Structure 1
Amino acid sequence: MSYASSFTVLTEVLPRLTHPDGSPIRALVVDDEPALADLVAMGVGMCGWEARIAHEGYDAVTQAREFAPDVLVLDRMLPGLDGLQVLSRIRQSFPEVPVLFLTAKDTVEDRIEGLASGGDDYVTKPFSIEEVLIRLHRLVQRSGAAAQDSATLVVGDLVLNIDSREVTRAGAPIELTATQFELLRYLMENPRRVLSKAQILDAVWHYDFSGQANIVELYISYLRKRIDAGRAPMIHTVRGAGYVIKPAP
């Protein structure tokens, strides 16, 4: 699968983050490897964010002051100022901006130093760009920079509104009982993640797994009749592991 295809799949399940006024989230990517910096910038761009790139420490500080980023992707080893010095200077102007260190410095001591210096997350090279994008989304969500729209969950063409308790697929309304709604909500809060029967029982029925697998199976079958009937399936059984919901192909 190409990077572009991989990004497209990922952005289908990641929340679409913007500022409260609708303007894009801003990410500053700092790395002295142009191809790597371009890859990360392309990824955040496909998420609808605005990206800027710096390849050198002093330029990174200058770019940050002009750009006012919502999140930093920062290499530890840079010409000019190193990553820790860059972070210290940027934090003088933007004390709350979250930073993800993306670096080849991969010892336990390196990680501790990076996090102790104010880093919020730490990923070592080589890395998965999908993991980096997921971690960046979490940092931005925790920072409060993005508009909060936790009332709506979207997976493919399936939309669930937590406040109004309305569910639609491709715009068509779907009627669910209270328990069916909570089960679907739990699945949609964890798209593309295989959830075991024990996890589902604990989250939806609030008791431990103790021979009650038939309840989960029964309610999954109810959901399938309402969500998937006559359509490409979204709810899938992973034999021996559990259930997963993902956009229809």
Structure 2
Amino acid sequence: MEITEFNMNFFSLKGKTAIITGGNTGLGRAFSVALAKAGANIFVPSIAPDDGTTEKLVTDAGVKYHFMQADITAEKKPQQVIEEAVETFGSVDILFNSAGISLLDDVLHFDRDKWDPMIRLDLTAAFEMSHEAAKVMIPQKSGKIINICSLFSFLGGQMSPAYAAAKHGIAGLTKAYADELGQHNIQVNGLAPGYFATAITKATRSDPKKNQTVLDHIPANRWGDVADLMGTAVYLSSRAADYVNGTLVVVDGGYLVR
């Protein structure tokens, strides 16, 4: 490719199909809207009921939206998700593994009752979704898989060993699948958000001491807004990132450097 060929259309997702697990709530909704605004049709499998909010945001961008009530940890459900996406939109071009849960407890009370469901959704379901998506992407010789990692893909952290373990694990899965699928023109990358102002972090942000502890660690001196992730989501999904593979892109306001 000559440098003169580059233009802003490299960031366009027009005509692409994007599956975003858990894409009707939280950060997943931000990814759905971002990719919709870039032109992708959005397919959302989620265990959370759909109230139509995400659909309106997506269709207002001029693209199509399809919701599938699905527990992607259930046996064969990832396969069914991929099959329904292909049946609905004709292909799977982008997979965002964004569904996840975070259960908290002190170390002596954090047992298998909390460990198992987190590993099952945050890591194993992401693997199974990627495995099924690869069966479509390899024959079409193109695709993007973006795994939602975390600062805890790098750090330890207290109150949730399963979260750190799952996020370290998905970072490893990202690199392993990047190595396997790169030869098929499929790029696999991780997007690692820092501390964001979402419903999950409300308790921390509402506690003045805990809130200040977080802010003291962020050079940007603010919590992230979900909109801060949207540009990176589009970039990693687009032709502009065709030579980016096996990388974890951190969006944290500088948290890891301090």
Band the TM-score falls in, shorter-chain normalisation: 0.3 to 0.5
Q: Which has the higher contact order (CA 8 A, sep 6+)?
A: 2
**More strand by proportion, 1 or 2?**
1
Mark the structure with the bigger radius of gyration: 1
Q: TM-score, normalization: structure 2?
A: 0.39
Q: TM-score, normalization: structure 1?
A: 0.40
